[in-house]
Structure formats: structure tokens, C-alpha cells
Amino acid sequence: MVTNNDLLPAAALPTPEREGVYRAILTRRDTRGEFLPDPIADDVLSRVLIAAHHAPSVGFMQPWSFVVVRDQTVRRRVHDAFQVAHAEAAMMFPADKQDFYRSLKLEGIMEAPVNICITCDRDRAGAVVIGRTHIRTMDLYSSVCAVQNLWLAARAEGLGVGWVSIFDNAVVQQALDIPAGIVPVAYLCLGKVRGYHAQPELQAAGWRPRLPLADLIHFDQWGRQGQDGHLLDVVRRDQAAVAAGTFAP
């Protein structure tokens, strides 16, 4: 039973702390070619893993585990799997985009000093889990929350993170000796970086623009857009401020 004595204060964070949260969110980038070889201190890596472990999870199932990969041989096997899938993926795009795709740097497996695979144990909390009774994939979504927590903590620590998803998951599972039934959810490259791009690389390269948030908001039911003009005006203002680098939460 939760009592009022168990509740933390519900006030907003002090302004510098609140601004720090938004800064981490808005300047987080998918890092690929900017990794430095410098090692990550264990106390920093511990803090990042603590943040990931304190992610929200449906039914408090905490389905994640973390495979910290430093071994060059293991990483080479993962990189080889990426190379195979990368070549296959290029052929899936229209002919006029294939060379552009091949020119993109999409991983830092060998460059980053640490790789981390975040997994999901779909049986960890038993067959029946609060909140997963009707949407079976809530355990996978919970593990993705751990990915986001780790990413934001890494940004706060001045680290870069790159999510590599272009490979056969079964090959990665074998390379990391992950048991059957444990699902690799995210393979992340982690390390110090030369800097952060002002915009996501794919946005800057013209692959895909940032979508207007106001176009993605519906009111009460799908398709009902524009009902709250004032909110949409504020959203447009704030998104423009983000793009201009003047957003002040």
C-alpha cells in the first residue's frame, strides 16, 4: 500500500536541471564515425548502466540484460555480420539511392571502445505479467526504454551512442553466446566522441527531414487535427526555436 509518506515531491526540477534534461534529449545523436579510442572509466560506465536499469518497465518485469562487449574478436564477428547485411540492404533501396546509402557511415563497432547489447528475457517475470496480459510485446517495448535511458545518460556524460540494427540478429545472438529465448533488442556502440552533429546526420544529408510535430498531433480521435489551435501554435513556435537553437524550456 502506497501512502503519502512514500511519495517524492511533485514539483518541477530546478531550472538548470530541467534545462539539462531537455538539452540531453535535443542534442542526443546516433553516433557512427566520431568515436575516439579513449577508454570509458568504469565509474562512468556504471552510471550509464544504472540509468538504463532504472528505465520504466511494464509490470516492473525489468526484462533487460546488458552484454558489455570489449573483445576485438567478438566485435569483429558482429562487424562481419553487419557488412553482409549492409550489402544486402543497399540492394533494397531504389537504384538512385543505392550509392548514397553505401556512402553513409552506419556503425562504429570496431572504433568505439565499448559495445553493449541490450536484451529482453521474455520469460523473466513469468507467463502472466501485469500490463502484458493483452499486449504481449510490452516486454520488448520495456527493453527499448532501457535503451533510451542509457542513450540520454551517455549524452549527459559526454559520450556518443550508435544503434546498429543492420545485421542478422541470429548471427549476433550466436556471436555473443546469448541463450535461445533471450532476444537481442539493441546493439549499441558507446564511447567518447569528437563532437555531436548539430542535426541528425540523415537529416543533414537530406535523406529525410524532421517532420513537423504539429502535423502529427490528433485530438481525441485519429484524424481530428487543428481542434486546439493555440496548442499547435505553441508547438510550432517551440519546434522553430529548437531548429534555431533558441529553445528555452
> Count of CB atoms within 10 A of residue 166's CB?
17
Whole-angstrom distance, CA of residue 222 vs CA of residue 214: 14
**Predicted confidence (pLDDT) per residue in 141-184, tens digit:** 999 999 999 999 999 999 999 999 999 999 999 999 999 999 99
Q: Tell me the pTM.
A: 0.93
Question: What is the predicted pLDDT for the residue at 98?
Answer: 94
Q: In this model, does residue 192 exceed pLDDT 60?
A: yes
Position 79 confidence tier, pLDDT thresholds 50, 70, 90: very high
Buried b (16+ CB within 10 A) or exposed e, 8-31: eeeeeeeeeeeeeeeebeeebbbb
- CB-count exposure of residue 44 (10 Å: 0-12, 13-18, 19+): middle
**pLDDT above 90 covers what percent of the chain?**
90
Residue 4's pLDDT is 63
Report yes or no: 122 and 139 within 8 Å, Cβ to Cβ: yes
Every domain of the chain and the residues it spans: 28-206, 211-249
* Digit-coded pLDDT (tens) for 81-127: 999 999 999 999 999 999 999 999 999 999 999 999 999 999 999 99
Q: Binning pLDDT at 50, 70 and 90, where does residue 3 land?
A: low
Q: Tell me the H-state helices in 6-71.
A: 15-27, 42-53
Beta-bridge partner residues of 163? 188
Residue with more model confidence, 217 or 205: 217
Specify the pLDDT at position 162: 97
Domain 28-206 part of CATH 3.50.50.60: no
